[in-house]
């Protein structure tokens, strides 16, 4: 893998252009390349040289120890015409700093004088319980309902209302969003990353993605107009708090807070079917701490170390976004003896941390003990970074953590689980989807306790 230019020499052999997804074809996270070239090396995505970071140490050194230098956002060509450089996820420089400060303050203060995120998740969890009771223990695919509940939380926060699971407008929004996400993470979109300068002039997956996202933005735009208030910032032509940044930030929040949460829940309950003794142990802890006559709350989490460890291990094992969202360095940066010129793109390979054998005794095995100490208390692990780390950590991290705990405990409080398939025959291998990993389709029975 070759040097980027005369200033950057990371690795030593010339790499052909290939999609990012191919880095995941060789064992966990491209171990063959890593074994040969080390934890830091360069590949070419079409004409673009990008630096790949493997392993917990290299990722933390970059994104935490040199957080400011690595805080830029790289390019995802297939969505750039829609997001451009707006919104908190894709903005850079002073625009990003202003939007990040505002977003963090808003998320932190949300619920003061209004209904809190916790209350909204609790309400949605009860709606889900009612819906599942209608199945009367018959086998069902949980995918649609898990998509509904996570999307509804974002809708509740952003639009001030939740939707019925049969609402036509809501179903259209869901369909557009999940089809877009699937197309963005598809192999064809990874090919587009290589040759976007040429392929953008022709029909293809990217055109469908743009149509879908424009329709979602139109809906967000209409909803924002309904709630618009006159702002003193309007008279300031240099402010970043304008309409385009607002609607793109809302779209970014949908991406940050829906797909990964719903897919984590799908993987989580598949794992509970595969390992019923784990589900039973979680239910025992639920019965001891919460009982059956009140709703789970976020305060319960600190009293439920085993359940918390199980949720951590579900996130680690499912490894939904093996290749993190691209960063770029904001200035000429010296890193591990190499000089990375300003605007060099950097990909943290999160999978290589989540499966790091130096931090997890059995990295390829589902084992909640990875997050428990000798006394059964939850223990921190530096390699646990499913939301990434540093200044570009996922905007939806807080909401996602709340959702996973409250949805997971509410369902196991109310239902026992059963599978039409023998646990030993349950396939945990992911259904590859470009750069994302999703579980195989499966059926589950929710039996009232």
**Rounded CA separation 275/168 (Å):** 37
Tokens of residue 418, six digits: 């059963």
Output the known binding site for heme.
394
Residues 6+ apart with CB under 8 A from 196: 46, 77, 78, 206
Q: What is the pLDDT of residues 190-214, one digit of tens each?
A: 888 888 888 888 999 999 999 999 9
Residues of 367-406 as b/e, b for ≥16 C-beta within 10 angstroms?
bbebbbeeeeebeebebbbbbbbbbbebbbbbbbbbbbbb
pLDDT tens, 120-133?
999 999 999 999 99
Mean pLDDT of the region 352-370: 96
Mean pLDDT calculated for residue range 313-341: 93
Cα 54 from Cα 31, distance rounded (Å): 9
pLDDT > 90? residue 226: no
Numbered residues of the known binding site: 394
Residue range 92-124, pLDDT digits in tens: 999 998 888 887 777 666 644 446 889 999 999
User: Is the per-residue pLDDT at 236 higher than 60?
Assistant: no
Using the predicted structure, report yes or no on whether residue 329 has a pLDDT greater than 60: yes
Percent of the chain at pLDDT exceeding 70: 86
Residue 285 has pLDDT above 90, yes or no: yes
Per-residue pLDDT, 251: 86
**Which whole number is the average pLDDT over 35-61?**
88
pLDDT at 3: 41
C-alpha angle 94/96/98, rounded to 5°?
A: 70
Q: How confident is the model at residue 256 (pLDDT cuts 50, 70, 90)?
A: confident
Q: Residue 72 above 90 pLDDT?
A: yes
Torsion angle defined by CA atoms of residues 251, 93, 340 and 322, in that order, rounded to the nearest 10 degrees: -20
What are the two backbone dihedrals, phi and then psi, of residue 247, each rounded to the nearest 5 degrees? Answer: -70, -35
**Of 239 and 384, the one with more pLDDT:** 384
Mean pLDDT for the stretch of residues 255-266: 89
Residue 137 has pLDDT above 80, yes or no: yes
The angle that helices 243-257 and 93-109 make with each other, rounded to 10 degrees, is 60
Predicted local confidence at residue 149, as pLDDT: 97
* Whole-number Å distance between alpha carbons of 157 and 249: 13
- Comparing 11 with 219, the larger pLDDT belongs to 219
| 3-state secondary structure labels for all residues of the chain | CCCCECCECCCCCCCCECCHHHHHCCCCCCHHHHHHHCCEEEEEECCEEEEEECCHHHHHHHHHHCCCCCCEECCCCCCHHHHCCCHHHHCCHHHHHHHHHHHHHHHHHCCCCCCCHHHHHHHHHHHHHHHHHCCCCCCECCHHHHHHHHHHHHHHHHHCCCCCCCCHHHHHHHHHHHHHHHHHCCHHHHHHHHHHHHHCCCCCHHHHHHHHHHHHHHHHHHHHHHHCCCCHHHHCCCCCCCHHHHHHHHHHHHHHHCHHHHHHHHHHHHHHHHCHHHHHHHHHHHHHHCCCCCCCCHHHHHHCHHHHHHHHHHHHHHCCCCCCCCEECCCCEEECCEEECCCCEEEECHHHHHCCCCCCCCCCCCCHHHHECCCCCECCCCCCCCCCCHHHCCCCHHHHHHHHHHHHHHHHHHEEEECCCCHHHCCCCCEEECCEEECCCCCEEEEEC
Q: Any idea how long the chain is? A: 449
Structure tokens at 430: 């992911």
The band of 6, judged by pLDDT with boundaries at 50, 70 and 90, is very low
**Angle at the Cα of 56 from the Cα atoms of 89 and 434, rounded to 5 degrees:** 55
pLDDT confidence band for 10 (50 / 70 / 90): very low
Residue 334 has a pLDDT of 93
Neighbours of 40 (CB within 10 A): 23
pLDDT score of 211:
95
pLDDT in tens, 77-90: 899 999 888 888 88
CB 214 within 8 A of CB 185: no
């Amino acid at each position: 893998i070759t040097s980027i230019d005369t200033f950057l020499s990371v690795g030593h052999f010339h790499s052909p252009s290939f999609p990012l997804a191919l880095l995941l074809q060789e064992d966990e996270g491209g171990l063959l390349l890593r074994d040969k070239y080390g934890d830091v090396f360069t590949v070419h995505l079409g004409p673009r040289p990008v630096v790949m970071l493997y392993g917990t140490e290299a990722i933390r050194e970059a994104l935490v120890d040199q957080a400011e230098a690595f805080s830029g956002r790289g390019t995802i060509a297939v969505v750039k015409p829609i997001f451009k450089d707006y919104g908190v996820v894709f903005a850079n420089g002073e625009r990003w700093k202003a939007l990040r400060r505002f977003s963090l303050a808003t998320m932190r203060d949300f619920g003061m004088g209004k209904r809190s995120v916790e209350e909204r998740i609790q309400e949605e969890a009860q709606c889900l319980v009612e819906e599942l009771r209608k199945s009367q223990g018959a086998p069902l695919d949980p995918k649609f309902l898990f998509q509904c509940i996570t999307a509804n939380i974002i809708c509740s926060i952003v639009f001030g209302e939740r939707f019925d699971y049969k609402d036509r407008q809501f179903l259209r929004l869901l369909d557009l969003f999940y089809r877009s996400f699937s197309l963005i993470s598809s192999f064809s979109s990874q090919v587009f990353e290589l040759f976007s300068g040429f392929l953008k002039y022709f029909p293809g997956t990217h055109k469908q993605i743009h149509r879908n996202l424009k329709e979602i933005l139109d809906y967000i735009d209409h909803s924002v107009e309904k709630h618009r208030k006159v702002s003193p910032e309007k008279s300031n032509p240099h402010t970043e708090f304008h309409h385009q940044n607002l609607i793109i930030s809302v779209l970014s929040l949908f991406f940050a807070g829906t797909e990964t949460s719903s897919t984590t829940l799908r993987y989580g309950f598949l794992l509970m079917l595969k390992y019923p003794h784990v589900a039973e142990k979680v239910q025992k802890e639920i019965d001891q701490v919460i009982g059956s006559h009140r709703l789970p709350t976020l305060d319960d989490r600190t009293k439920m170390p085993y359940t918390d460890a199980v949720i951590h291990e579900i996130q680690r094992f499912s490894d939904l976004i093996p290749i993190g969202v691209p960063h770029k360095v904001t200035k000429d940066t010296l890193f591990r003896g190499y000089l990375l010129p300003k605007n060099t793109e950097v990909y943290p390979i999160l999978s290589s941390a989540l499966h790091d054998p130096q931090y997890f005794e059995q990295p390829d095995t589902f084992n909640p003990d990875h997050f428990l100490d000798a006394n059964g208390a939850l223990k921190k692990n530096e390699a646990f970074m499913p939301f990434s780390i540093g200044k570009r950590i996922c905007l939806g991290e807080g909401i996602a953590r709340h959702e996973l705990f409250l949805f997971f405990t509410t369902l196991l409080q109310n239902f026992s689980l059963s599978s039409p398939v023998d646990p030993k025959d349950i396939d945990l291998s992911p259904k590859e989807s470009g750069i994302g990993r999703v579980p195989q389709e499966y059926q589950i029975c929710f039996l009232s306790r």
